[in-house]
Every structure is written in C-alpha cells, then in structure tokens.
C-alpha cells in the first residue's frame, strides 16, 4: 500500500495543501495555518516507515495534532499514550510496549521516556520549531502492525487495560459514515466555512475522531487544552457552530452555569455520549437553552458510535422514549442476549448488549459489550447499567482496583477499598476507605491523597478518603464493598463534589 494513495493518508496530505495560508487550528487565542500543521506532519511522516508502531504522547495542543496527522500520513500505526496518567505509570507503559519510535514534545520525551529506552524519539518544542531526532536501536521492538491505524488504549473493566486495534479501513468507514448525520454530505476536497470546537481529550477516541473528522472535511477548529465553561462558551459565541459535542460532565457544567441562552443561539443540537446522561439533565438543558440533546452510544472497540438520536427521531419520539440512547446507526445491528446462554432476548427484555458495527466490516460477527440493556420494538436502546464495577467519572473509566493498589502502596496503609459514589455532574466519583497500620506519626487523608497523586491520574483520585479502624468484611474475610459504600450517607450533598 503506497501511503499517499491510501484514502486517509492521501486526504490528510491533500487537505493541508489546499491553502497553506488558511487558518486551521485556533489554540489559546492564536491561529495556526494548514501549512504549519501540514509541514510539521510531513516532517514526522518522512521519518517513519510504513506500518511501524509509533507511540505518541498526546496532549490537546496543535503539536499533537500534527503528530497524529504525520503518523497517519506515513501509513504507520499510532499507539496512543496519555502523559497525564502519572509519570511512573507512563514510563512503565512505554517500557512495556516495545516501540521502535516515540513522538512527543521535547519536554515530555525528556520526562517520560524511560532512561536507556532504545526507541528512536522524534520531538520538537512546539509547532514550527525544528524536529529533533534521536536515533535508537531497539533490539526486541514489537515493530509493525500492517494496516492498523491506531492502537487506542482503553481502560479495562473486566480485566487489565488493553489496546484496541483500529484499522485504516475502519477509520475511513467511520469518517464516511459520519456524513450520514450531517446536513451537507458533500465530500468534495475543499476548505469549508464554519469553525468546530474540539474539547474532548485526544487520548480518547472522541477527541481523536473529532480532529480527524475536521481535517478530512477541511474544517478549521478551536482546540481546547481542557474543558472549562468560560473557554468553551467564548468559542461558541465567537464561532457560532451549529452542533457541539459535550460529555455528560461538561453538559452539566454548562447547565449549572449562568450563561445567556443567546450565547448558544447558533447551536441546533448537542451531541452527548461517553457516559450515562440523566434524561432529566437533557430536558433541563433543552428547557434552559432551547437546544435538544442528542444522546449517543459508542465504544473504542467499534471505532466510534453505533447508536444515537438524530433530530428527526428526537422531535418525534423523545417524549415517549426519553432515557434511551437512540437507535442503531446505519449499517449497525444491535441485540440483547442472555448473559449466560447467549440466547437473543425479546423486545424490552433485559440482557447484555451485543453489536455488529458496520465500520468493522462485513466479516465481523457479534461483539459483546459490558453493558446491560434492553431494546424496544421500535429499535430504541436503553442502557441499564454495567456488567462490571467500573466507575465512569465524566466519561473517564476508573478501575477501582488500580486506585486501591495505589493507596496500598503507601507504607502507612494496611488495606484499602474503593467504590463509586453517584454524582449529579460527573455521573460517579471514586471514594475510598482506608485501614491504617500502627505508626508512630499521625497520618491524615491529605497525606494519603498526596502519595496517590504521584501514581494516579487526576480523574482517578478519590474525592474523599475515610480512615476507618477496620474495613468491613464478609464471612470469607473479603472486603464487603456494599458495606464500604454504605459508609457514605446517601443524603450527602453530591453537588459540592469538586472535580479534581
């Protein structure tokens, strides 16, 4: 496969060359041109062999956008690495991957690539700065993944986190399928008017896909380093997009903010996914701002969305089907099966959701999710809960055992237990109960949190740590998680929870 004849690699190269002086990405009030993005992407692409596995340290910055495009222009395999997971874990992650190449800004490469790691590193200080290349010679590198575009890291829920292979063909199908939901389905090679807003992290499929969608369409976009109501609302006021995308936590922040409804007057719909959203919150948002919320259902394993609402369905069915995540996307099939026997369930019967995703190709069979669901006779899907114990905090998946293990690495901790506590804005947040060892010096919850901060990502940190004399246990001496959850009064004021 000649990389520049591959549809995605060719499209990236062609779009960035249409008008190099035109504005492409706005970041912190400064515009960067298609030419700047394209030149930085080309510099990366020229150094990478086809199909090579390339670890990319992804931040929501224009330089990372160029790195993503460069890897895909080369026809290489983008291995996503989240530099915000905690330095120690990022180093361990990189060390275990066996990568022949690692790309990032020079500060991240210096801080996060393990000492002595033999990969070739490619980095620059920022967009437009010279590319610095340190040639390595990995002896046992897991070097290639032919036809795989992205190895996206997911947070495991029934086992350790894993990387999902998304092929170039899958990404191309997803991008083409997204056109089905746009008012204009014109795929002509040109730069389009209007400015999109990208506020999801590039290390998540939603953020990465949104960037690729904008580039493929030739649409400029505002890139937010992180979501805040003020920066997002400012971008909406200035650029007046017709559609915006908000994860449930962000939507609740906008709902709680004192924005003038006129600020959102250009917006025809809000796409909301990645975590459950209360229909009450969706209705409250529509009542306050006059904008319908179109809930969607997606997973990394499927390369994107497989179900959702559109405006026509929302107008016709929302009052009767509120709480549903919508109907299957074009070409996708959904069914609910008995979790034990695998037998398909009848309409409105509860079971585990299985999916045939159109973007994975006609040869793929049913993929079982970890979600409990029901599907009614009209094809609308309700997600009823998770078949595992993952905590979904504002769209981020948290494994309680990872948090527990981090707390128990503190020498002062004898044992810890972590559970999810419902939160109106974020969906759920982690809380922890800790049993201490006998120590000469007093230990506080703040001390335990400070220790965990060096290990965990910010979103994984418990919002509260309670020190208890003894953890509640079952007769078999296992920690009783239900009793641990009961330590938190159900009448606590959840709205005061502060996102870390």
Is 72 within a domain?
Answer: yes
Contact indicator for 214, 196 with CB cutoff of 8 Å? yes
Upper half-sphere CA count for residue 102 (Cβ side, 13 Å): 32
The DSSP 8-state label assigned to residue 383 in this structure reads E
pLDDT (0 to 100) of residue 156:
39
Rounded Cα distance between 390 and 69, Å, is 32
Q: What is the pTM of this model?
A: 0.80
Domain end (from 162, 181, 200): 162
Is 321 within a domain?
Answer: no
Contact indicator for 209, 46 with CB cutoff of 8 Å? no
Is 432 within a domain?
Answer: yes
Q: What is the pLDDT of residues 196-205, one digit of tens each?
A: 999 999 998 8
pLDDT (0 to 100) of residue 477:
52
pLDDT (0 to 100) of residue 402:
87
pLDDT (0 to 100) of residue 179:
65
Q: What is the pLDDT of residues 184-224, one digit of tens each?
A: 667 789 999 999 999 999 998 889 999 999 999 999 999 99
Is 404 within a domain?
Answer: yes
pLDDT (0 to 100) of residue 452:
94
Is 92 within a domain?
Answer: yes
Nearest in space to 281 (alpha carbons), one of 295, 261, 268: 295
Is 24 within a domain?
Answer: yes
Contact indicator for 395, 275 with CB cutoff of 8 Å? yes
Is 9 within a domain?
Answer: yes
| Cβ-Cβ contacts under 8 Å for 74 (sequence gap 6 or more) | 3, 9, 44, 45, 46, 48, 49, 50, 52, 54
pLDDT (0 to 100) of residue 304:
83
Both tokens of 110, joined, read 């210096």
Q: Which residues constitute the domain of residue 40?
A: 1-162
Residue 439, domain CATH: 3.30.300.30
Domain end (from 145, 162, 179): 162
| Cβ-Cβ contacts under 8 Å for 136 (sequence gap 6 or more) | 100, 117, 118, 119, 120, 121
Residue bearing tokens 């210096």? 110
Is 119 within a domain?
Answer: yes
Contact indicator for 400, 391 with CB cutoff of 8 Å? yes
pLDDT (0 to 100) of residue 2:
46
Element containing residue 297 per DSSP (H, E): strand 293-299
Q: Is 241 helix (H, G, I), strand (E, B) or coil?
A: coil
Task: Determine the distance from the C-alpha atom of residue 229 to the mean position of all C-alpha atoms in its chain, rounded to a whole number.
Answer: 19
Element containing residue 420 per DSSP (H, E): strand 413-423
pLDDT (0 to 100) of residue 495:
41
Tell me which residues of the chain have a pLDDT lower than 70.
Answer: 1-5, 139-140, 155-161, 179-185, 363, 386, 474-477, 489-500
**Total domain count for the chain?**
2
pLDDT (0 to 100) of residue 496:
40
pLDDT (0 to 100) of residue 296:
93
Residue 91, domain CATH: 3.40.50.980
- Phi and psi of 467, rounded to 5°? -90, 120
Domain end (from 162, 184, 211): 162
């Amino acid at each position: 496969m000649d990389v520049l004849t591959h549809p995605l690699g060719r499209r990236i190269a062609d779009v960035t060359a249409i008008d190099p002086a035109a504005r492409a990405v706005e970041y912190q009030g400064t515009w960067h041109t298609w030419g700047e993005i394209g030149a930085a992407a080309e510099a990366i692409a020229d150094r990478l062999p086809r199909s090579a596995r390339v670890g990319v340290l992804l931040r929501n910055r224009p330089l990372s956008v160029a790195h993503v495009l460069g890897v895909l222009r080369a026809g290489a395999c983008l291995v996503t690495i989240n530099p915000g997971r905690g330095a120690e874990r990022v180093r361990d992650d990189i060390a275990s991957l066996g990568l022949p190449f690692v790309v990032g800004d020079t500060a991240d490469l210096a801080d996060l690539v393990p000492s002595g790691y033999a990969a070739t590193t490619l980095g620059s200080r920022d967009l437009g700065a010279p590319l610095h290349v340190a040639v390595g010679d990995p002896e046992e590198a897991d070097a290639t993944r032919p036809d795989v575009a992205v190895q996206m890291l997911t947070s495991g829920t029934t086992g350790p986190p894993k990387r999902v292979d998304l092929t170039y063909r899958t990404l191309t199908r997803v991008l083409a399928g997204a056109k089905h939901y746009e008012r204009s389905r014109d795929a002509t090679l040109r730069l389009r008017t209007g400015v999109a807003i990208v506020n999801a992290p590039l290390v998540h499929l939603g953020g990465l896909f949104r960037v690729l969608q904008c580039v493929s369409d030739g649409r400029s976009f505002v890139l937010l380093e992180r979501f805040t109501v003020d920066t997002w609302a400012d971008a909406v006021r200035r650029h007046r997009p017709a559609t915006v995308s908000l994860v449930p936590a962000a939507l609740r922040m906008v709902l709680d903010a004192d924005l003038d409804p006129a600020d959102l007057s250009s917006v025809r719909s809000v796409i909301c996914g990645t975590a459950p959203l209360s229909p009450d919150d969706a209705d409250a948002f529509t009542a306050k701002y006059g904008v319908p919320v179109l809930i969607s259902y997606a997973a990394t394993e499927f390369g994107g969305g497989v179900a959702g609402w559109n405006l026509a369905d929302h107008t016709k069915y929302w009052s009767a089907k509120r709480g549903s995540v919508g109907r299957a996307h074009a070409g996708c099939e959904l069914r609910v099966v008995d979790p034990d026997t695998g037998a398909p369930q009848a309409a409105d019967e509860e079971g585990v959701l299985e999916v045939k995703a159109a973007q994975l190709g006609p040869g793929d069979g049913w993929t079982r999710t970890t979600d409990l669901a029901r599907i009614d006779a009209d094809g609308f899907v309700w997600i009823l809960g998770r078949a595992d114990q993952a905590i979904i905090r504002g769209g981020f998946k948290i494994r309680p055992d990872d948090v527990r293990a981090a707390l128990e690495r503190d020498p002062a901790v004898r044992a810890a237990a972590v559970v999810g506590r419902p939160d109106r804005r974020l969906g759920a947040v982690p809380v922890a109960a800790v049993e201490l060892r006998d120590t000469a010096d007093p230990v506080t919850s703040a001390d335990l949190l400070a220790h965990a901060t060096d290990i965990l990502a910010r979103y994984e940190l418990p919002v509260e740590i309670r020190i208890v004399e003894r953890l509640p246990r079952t007769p078999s001496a296992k920690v009783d998680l239900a009793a641990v959850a009961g330590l938190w009064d159900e009448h606590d004021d959840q709205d005061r929870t502060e996102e870390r």
